[in-house]
Chain A
């Protein structure tokens, strides 16, 4: 994975290669992974949110019931 193994060789080259992150050339795969993680996050968090909402909606607490759950103090 290492793009640079010797800084002296790298910086004294006739033309210094710009990108130095590991795996230069694999950017397409990295972007694909990011897209999957991003879209996946929406699906997972949506399912979690839906389940939380359904739970509260099913129990139908009153609009002042939250006050008995205040823990401050």
Chain B
């Protein structure tokens, strides 16, 4: 009996990290609910990796480019055939686009952007930050399947060493009233704050747009994404894709380094669930220090270049 179905995505031939995280929490839920973990993917290449994360089967709909309607049709068909108790999506752009559409088609609700999940008394229970983390709601999802989207970085990805999942091909029709004309990748190799493990953020303390180079250099050296406060985005110093906070991205990386960010309530709400926080600010009273694990009262223009060099040295070893 299939317990949990996870929608997975492939990038460069491998499962996205957020998908591996969703599979891992999915496997735990399947154990608790009783039943197998199975996955949905657009390519049979996912089978081996999904197996390592505990999936017994992968339902493959060969639709190369993601579009909402084609994927909704294919996934809904699998949901109807498999009848899972739980359906999980990683909270990626596509996961957030698809989950509500599938949910409305099968007339069930969605717990979105959850950072905790458990199977309790025959129901899916989830915790989700609301008001950008100013409060947490615990919700119970009724209906079958119970659907949730998982927040990237909130659940650890754990291999359990299973063999390749069995591939089940699903008939797929790529017809869609929306088509992808082009995908624009602005700066090659730039990481997205939504999924990054490390984020280096800059605020108004940078004084001007050109000084984001201090942030970019450190982010590049340490292998992290560039984040930004709302003030810097509103001032036009950097693109909105980088904004962390209530009207930007809510993030939970392993390491968050904030330089020249004072820590408006808006910003704190978006990053205070980061696992390790370092703040550099010349104002000892800056609210960012209230959430920082390591606060450095000092001049970012002096400290960041030294730090960047030290990181490069450490990486070279």
Please indicate whether A and B come from the same complex rather than being unrelated chains.
Answer: no
